[in-house]
Amino acid sequence: MSADAAAHRVFKDRLYGQFARVGKALASPHRLEVLELLAQGERTVDALATEVGISKANASQHLQALREGGLVESRKQGLFVHYRLADAAVFELCKAIRTVAERRLAELERIVRDHFGDRSDPEPVPMADLLARVRSGKVVILDTRPASEFAAGHIAGALSVPIDELKRRLARLPKTKEYVAYCRGPYCVYADRAVELIQASGRRAKRLLEGFPEWQIAGFPVERGLEHEA
């Protein structure tokens, strides 16, 4: 091997070694879930541990691995450390992994079907269709995520109706409107549960095909704060 070829080989090994750092950081179901949670907004170690169902020590180890891979950043506020995605491209990476799995892993489809059943009735609403319906004024968007996630960012004009509060707030939702519920992403159960409850009350409802992070990354209108509550 010539000196130039050897130098190029060293370069390639170092280059792909850096790419592999990202792949190594993603090689855990819990870390992928943590990244999708952080796509909703900042969280502390305690909050992530509770959400994912692991110990605080385990959550800290996963976050350290994600930090080493350049995927998350943190800031300290008082006694708490808040974590966030290091870049919008991190969520795009997670979405790409999900897309490949959906296309290539038959087991994934079976797992989703076993958990959700038939999700095609009513047919979910794609993001572009929802944008057009909102402009017509004929649809109400319901954000079924926790209020803290709504405050961190939500679809412009959406109402904050966390799924745990929906039953007692149903009477305040006009029966003449059509509702589109959304949550964290396509595999989040909140929107499905909301559609069931709203339909059972005699109202028309569908779920958004995607979730808030997909809406945001697509460049569609987003708001922050708690201005819109039903």
Residue numbers annotated as active site: 183
DSSP codes, 165-199: GHHHHGGGS-TTSEEEEE-SSTT-SHHHHHHHHHH
The whole-angstrom separation of Cα 198 and Cα 171 is 10
Q: Take residue 93 and report the two structure tokens written for it.
A: 């990476």
Cβ atoms 69, 22 nearer than 8 A: yes
Q: Write the single-letter amino acid at 68.
A: E
Cβ atoms 45, 52 nearer than 8 A: no
